[in-house]
């Protein structure tokens, strides 16, 4: 593992929601991903995970900050480079029911990218679609079917095949397994891992639960209210979590998985996260933090590397 | 995710390939439209509506030729004849055959309904489509959207009766004027529906996926947006056509619409008003029956279509 394929620097994505109100869905996030690596991102619903994912793949334009892919800032790409970037960086979506066009047959859906880039035509295209279907564990006959004829897990496989069709090098997987049955989740994660090895892919893997990303991620970042709270290697994050929010998340993993949970005491988080329209002053987590101090309400803690490769934003460190 | 998590490492061990989901599906694969047709056929009211509509359309084409009279042929000696084997629906005070006039009136009604619906469709989809697609695409996009929506809002507030009366003053009363009058205010509803649909669909993940895959704007509109709004557009049409037909009858009844000697259900009903007391019941009965039947047929069929095409109704 050598160079960073992706670097994001202080990226912000704010939405105007009328009445002069602004949602700070992503508010100043920085990290990098090395080639072949998987970075997991976890956070509660509404913490901005999809927004950061969509900003990285270029579906949203960042309000501020830089997204640098393979050494080039994506907002500065010319037409040709932009097209190449769009091909190389693909996304797998969160909702298996909304991510496939209900009026298109599976074969057409998978061929969409092949058509857009003119990668194959006629018989060769057909062959390619069949290969892709088999590659993700489906049957070539499925090409003539409509999405509603498939289960959630199968639809997610179709979405994966669609992304693979354009031979990407980087995939942002936005909660690819959250909507699936527990028994199916493992199959999809295994498929993604196999593909990573064989196709030399780099992943940004989003989930809302630490248990889900532990297995697949080399490093894990924890988001809260549009900000990154902690980022470390998977092992480190589970064994020596620093941030009070990470601690709370870890303690919430049910006792049926004691190995993951360790001997930590269960920390119960009170209430819901505050609204990103009107976030707390200082540290966004302070309204629910068991160790909050006076300083926490005044200054936002700095994002710093407290140990090698272990980043955290908290006044305790 | 559900509440209890089994031990995670065990969970993520490779799955037995035998459990892979590549089983074949044996049920025949139905497209959305095939599925919709099946649903409509099962819906009794929709079938009745469809049969009635077909009958009305067919008779409006061939009906006048089934009798040896034309709709405007007068015969003062044969005024106000009751139903007979010569005059199936009787005659009016000028001795004109009611059957011939009813189907000539059906033509007027259908032409008005279909023409104003088509105009609504074209203008509504264009304006609503551009507006919805441009919304959120930078400053220029938002400006185009709000400009078009401003026009829509203004027109939405104007009652069509006012427009009709104004146009009748400026232009010659008649079919074309009426179609124009109904379309000027009519497309606004379609534009709003189309814009709303596009705004909603644009957020859907399959459209984002298409954008990310490098699909062109044109293809996104044709393959992803339009097919997914067709259902709602068609349903809207099956409700705007009868509205236009009713508006024509109503305006003609008031004397603001189609002018004599052209037969229209509205003018026929108006002409018949004076004869109610004299017992020539067929003169009012048939035009009123046709207006009601047509309204019923469109609405019954439209309801069935809505059930079959609306993605929210699943069965
Ligand atoms: N297009 C948008 N316009 C306005 N607000 C938005 C938009 N997209 C997201 N938001 C807001 O930004 C915040 C973060 O949303 P986001 O979808 O990124 O969360 P998430 O972490 O992916 O949550 P989930 O787990 O539910 O998918 C939410 O408060 C959401 O309401
Ligand atoms: S900065 Fe303060 S409030 Fe925020 S997590 Fe650290 S201790 Fe808690
Ligand atoms: Mg999300």
**What CATH number is associated with residue B90?**
1.10.3720.10
Given a cut of 70, whether residue B19 has pLDDT beyond it is no
Residue B79 forms part of a structural domain = yes
Chain segment A251-286, per-residue pLDDT in tens: 877 655 555 555 556 666 767 778 888 888 889 998
A254 and B210: CB-CB below 8 Å?
Answer: no
Nearest to A142 by CA among A152, A151, A153, A130: A130
* Centroid of ligand 2 to alpha carbon of A241 (angstroms): 14
- A244: Cβ below 6 Å to ligand 1? no
Average pLDDT per run of 10 along chain A, which is 317 residues long? 83 87 92 94 92 94 92 90 93 91 92 91 92 92 90 92 94 90 87 92 92 90 94 92 91 64 62 81 89 89 91 91
Q: Where would I find the beta strands (DSSP E) of chain B?
A: none
Closest CA in chain A for residue B7: A257
Ligand 1 mutation target, pool A51, A53, A179, most atoms within 8 A of CB: A51
User: For residue A301, which ligand has an atom nearest its CA?
Assistant: 2
Whose C-alpha lies nearest to ligand 1, atom 6?
Answer: A15
| Ligand 2 atom at minimum distance from A244 CA | 5
Interface contact flag, A141 B215, Cβ < 8 Å? no
**Taking CA B67 as the corner, what is the angle to CA B65 and CA B70, rounded to the nearest 5 degrees?**
75
Give a yes or no: residue B104 inside a domain: yes
- pLDDT per residue over A138-147, tens digit each? 999 999 999 9
Predicted confidence at residue B314, as pLDDT, reads: 46
Which residue, among A54, A104, A144, would best test binding to B if mutated, counting the most B CBs under 10 Å from its CB? A104
CB contact under 8 A, A102 and B311: yes
- % of chain A at pLDDT higher than 70: 94
Say if B206 falls within a structural domain: yes
User: Is residue B34 in some structural domain?
Assistant: no
Number of domains in chain B: 1
The predicted pLDDT at position B273 comes to 80
Could you write out the three-class secondary structure of B183-237?
A: HHHHHHHHHHHHHHHHHHHHCCHHHHHHHHCCCCHHHHHHHHHHHHHHHHHHHHH
Look up the domain containing B88 and give its range. Answer: 39-309
Assess whether pLDDT exceeds 50 at residue B291.
Answer: yes
Q: What is the pLDDT of residues B175-216, one digit of tens each?
A: 888 888 888 888 998 999 999 999 999 989 999 999 999 898
Q: Whose atoms come closest to the Cα of A173: which ligand?
A: 3
Segments in chain A forming alpha helices (H): 49-57, 79-88, 106-116, 122-135, 152-164, 182-199, 210-214, 234-239, 244-251, 258-261, 294-298
pLDDT digit string, tens, across residues B228-282: 988 888 888 888 888 888 888 888 888 777 777 778 888 888 887 877 777 777 7
Establish if B248 belongs to a structural domain: yes
Residue of A87, A137, A182 with shortest CB distance to B22? A137
| Res. B22: pLDDT tops 80 | no
Q: Given this model, what pLDDT does residue A194 score?
A: 92
The answer to whether A175 touches A97, Cβ cutoff 8 Å, is no
- The verdict on residue B6 lying in a domain is no
Q: Which of A247, A294, A301 to mutate to test the pocket of ligand 2 (most atoms within 8 A of CB)?
A: A301
Contact B20 A86 (CB under 8 A): no
Q: How many whole angstroms separate alpha carbon A243 and alpha carbon A310?
A: 11
Cβ-Cβ pairs closer than 8 A, A with B, add up to 137
> Per the CB < 8 Å rule, is A86 touching B208?
no
Cβ–Cβ gap B21/A151 under 8 Å: yes
Chain B closest CA to A316's CA: distance in Å? 30
Residue A235 Cα to ligand 2 midpoint, Å, equals 23
Highest mean pLDDT among A68-72, A249-253, B159-163, B308-312: A68-72
ipTM over 0.85: yes
Give yes or no for residue A55 CB within 6 A of ligand 1: no
- Residue B27 resides in a domain: no
Whose Cα sits closest to atom 5 in ligand 2? A314
Does B26 contact chain A (CB < 8 Å)?
no
Straight-line distance from the first to the last Cα atom of chain B, in angstroms, rounded to the nearest whole number = 27
Contact B9 A259 (CB under 8 A): yes
């Amino acid at each position: 593992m050598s160079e960073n394929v992706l670097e994001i620097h202080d990226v912000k994505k704010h939405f105007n929601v009328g009445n002069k109100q602004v949602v700070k869905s992503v508010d100043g996030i920085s990290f990098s991903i090395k080639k072949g690596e998987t970075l997991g991102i976890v956070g509660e619903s509404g913490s901005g995970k999809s927004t950061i994912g969509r900003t990285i793949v270029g579906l949203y334009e960042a309000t501020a900050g830089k997204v640098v892919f393979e050494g080039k800032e994506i907002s500065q790409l010319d037409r040709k480079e932009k097209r190449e970037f769009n091909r190389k960086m693909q996304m797998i979506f969160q909702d298996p029911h909304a991510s496939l066009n209900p009026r298109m047959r599976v074969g057409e859906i998978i061929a969409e990218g092949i058509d857009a880039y003119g990668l194959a035509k006629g018989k060769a295209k057909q062959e390619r679609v069949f290969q892709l279907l088999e590659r993700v564990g489906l049957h070539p006959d499925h090409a003539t079917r409509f999405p509603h004829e498939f289960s959630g897990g199968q639809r997610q496989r179709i979405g994966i095949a669609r992304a693979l069709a354009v031979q990407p090098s980087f995939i942002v997987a936005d909660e690819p397994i959250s909507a699936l049955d527990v028994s199916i989740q493992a199959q999809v994660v295994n498929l993604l891992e196999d593909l990573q090895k064989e196709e030399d892919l780099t992943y940004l893997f989003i989930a809302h639960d630490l248990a889900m990303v532990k297995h697949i991620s080399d490093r894990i970042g924890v988001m809260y209210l549009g900000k990154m709270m902690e980022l470390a290697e998977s092992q480190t994050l589970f064994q020596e979590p620093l941030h009070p929010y990470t601690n709370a998340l870890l303690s919430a993993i049910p006792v049926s998985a004691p190995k993951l949970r360790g001997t930590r005491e269960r920390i119960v988080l009170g209430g819901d996260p505050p609204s990103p329209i009107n976030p707390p002053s200082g540290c966004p987590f302070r309204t629910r933090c068991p160790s909050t101090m006076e300083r926490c309400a005044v200054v936002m803690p700095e994002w710093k590397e407290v140990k090698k490769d272990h980043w955290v934003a908290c006044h305790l460190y | 995710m559900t509440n209890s998590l089994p031990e995670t490492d065990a969970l993520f061990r490779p799955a037995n390939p035998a459990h892979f989901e590549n089983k074949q599906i044996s049920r025949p694969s139905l497209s959305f439209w095939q599925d919709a047709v099946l649903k409509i056929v099962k819906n009794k009211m929709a079938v009745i509506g469809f049969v009635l509509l077909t009958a009305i359309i067919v008779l409006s084409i061939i009906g006048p030729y089934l009798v040896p009279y034309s709709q405007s042929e007068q015969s003062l000696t044969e005024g106000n004849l009751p139903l007979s084997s010569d005059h199936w629906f009787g005659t009016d005070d000028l001795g004109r055959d009611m059957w011939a006039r009813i189907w000539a009136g059906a033509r007027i009604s259908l032409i008005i309904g279909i023409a104003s619906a088509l105009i609504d469709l074209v203008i509504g989809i264009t304006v609503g489509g551009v507006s919805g697609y441009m919304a959120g695409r930078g400053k220029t996009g938002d400006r185009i959207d709000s400009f078009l929506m401003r026009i829509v809002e203004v027109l939405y507030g104007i009652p069509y009766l006012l427009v009709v009366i104004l146009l009748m003053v400026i232009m010659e009363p008649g079919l074309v004027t009426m179609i124009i009058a109904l379309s000027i205010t009519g497309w606004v509803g379609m534009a709003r529906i189309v814009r709303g649909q596009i705004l909603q669909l644009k957020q859907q993940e399959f459209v984002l996926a298409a954008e990310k895959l490098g699909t062109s704007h044109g293809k996104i509109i044709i393959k992803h947006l339009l097919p997914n709004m067709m259902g709602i557009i068609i349903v809207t049409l099956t409700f705007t056509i009868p509205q236009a037909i009713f508006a024509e009858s109503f305006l003609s009844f008031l004397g603001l619409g189609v002018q004599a000697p052209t037969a229209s259900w509205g003018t026929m009903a108006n002409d018949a008003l004076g004869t109610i007391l004299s017992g020539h019941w067929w003169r009012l009965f048939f035009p009123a029956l046709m207006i009601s039947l047509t309204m019923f047929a469109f609405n019954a069929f439209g309801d069935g279509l809505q059930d079959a095409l609306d993605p929210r109704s699943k069965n």
